[in-house]
Structure 1
Amino acid sequence: MTELYKIHYPLDNNIYQASDQVVVMGYFDGVHKGHQAVIKAAREKADKLCLPLAVLTYTPYPGVVFEKQSLPWHDLTPLDEKVALLGELGVDRVYCLNLTSALSTLKPEDFVEQVLLALRAKAVVAGYDHLYGRPADRADMAHLPEYAQGRFEVITVGKKTLAGDDAAAKVASRDIRAALADGDLDFANDNLGRAHRTTGIVVHGDARGRTLGFPTINVWTPELETLPALGIYVVRVQIAGQTVKGMASIGRNVTFEANRPVTVEINLLDFKQAVYGEPVKVDWLQYLRGEVAFDSAEDLIAQLERDREDTREYFKKN
Structure 2
Amino acid sequence: MEIIKIHHPYDPSEIYPEDIVLILGFFDGVHRGHKTVIEAGVKLAKEKGLKAALMTFNRHPAFVYRKFDPDYHYYLTPLKRKEALLEQTGIDILYEVDFTSSFGTLDPQSFVDQYIVDWHAKAVVAGFDYTYGKSNQANMNTLDQYAKGRFEIHKIQEQLASNEKISSTRIRQNIEQGQIDEANELLGYIYETTGFVIHGEARGRTLGYPTANVLSDPDVYMPRIGVYAVKMCVNEEWFDGMASIGYNPTFGYRKDISVEVNLFDFSQEIYGENVRIKWVKYLRDEENYDSKEALIAQLVKDEEDSRAILSKVKINQI
TM > 0.5? yes
Greater displacement, 276-285 / 128-137: 128-137
Distance 1:276 1:156 in 2: 48
What is the CA RMSD across the aligned residues, in angstroms?
1.6
Contact map agreement 1:123 1:154 (CA 8 A) in 2: yes
Unmatched 5+ residue regions in structure 1? none
Aligned to 2:263: 268
Contact map agreement 2:233 2:239 (CA 8 A) in 1: yes
3-state secondary structure, aligned to 2:181? helix
3-state secondary structure, aligned to 1:194? coil
Aligned to 1:229: 224
> Compared with structure 1, are the counterparts of its residues 140 and 70 closer, same or farther at alpha carbon in structure 2 (3 Å cutoff)?
closer
Aligned to 1:207: 202
Runs of 4+ in structure 1 off by over 6 angstroms are none
> Compared with structure 1, are the counterparts of its residues 310 and 290 closer, same or farther at alpha carbon in structure 2 (3 Å cutoff)?
same
Distance 1:4 1:128 in 2: 25
1:89 Cα deviation from its structure 2 partner: 1.0
CA deviation map 1:91-129 (0-9, x unaligned): 222111122333233222211111112322121110011
Aligned to 1:185: 180
1:17 Cα deviation from its structure 2 partner: 2.7
Aligned to 2:316: none
Contact map agreement 2:61 2:104 (CA 8 A) in 1: no
Matched positions, count: 312
Distance 1:122 1:27 in 2: 20
Alignment partner for residue 170 of structure 1, among 157, 165, 172?
165
Aligned to 2:85: 85
Distance 2:234 2:263 in 1: 10
> Compared with structure 1, are the counterparts of its residues 202 and 16 closer, same or farther at alpha carbon in structure 2 (3 Å cutoff)?
same
Contact map agreement 2:58 2:97 (CA 8 A) in 1: yes
CA deviation map 1:152-189 (0-9, x unaligned): 2211111101x33xx1x311111111111111112211
Unmatched 5+ residue regions in structure 2? 314-318
Contact map agreement 2:126 2:154 (CA 8 A) in 1: yes
Q: Which amino acid aligns with 1:175?
A: R
CA deviation map 1:43-67 (0-9, x unaligned): 1011112222111111321222222
Contact map agreement 2:226 2:284 (CA 8 A) in 1: yes
CA deviation map 1:21-64 (0-9, x unaligned): 21111010111111010001001011112222111111321222
Contact map agreement 1:17 1:118 (CA 8 A) in 2: no
Aligned to 1:110: 110
Identity of aligned residues (%): 43
1:136 Cα deviation from its structure 2 partner: 7.0
3-state secondary structure, aligned to 2:126? strand
- TM-score after normalising by structure 2: 0.93
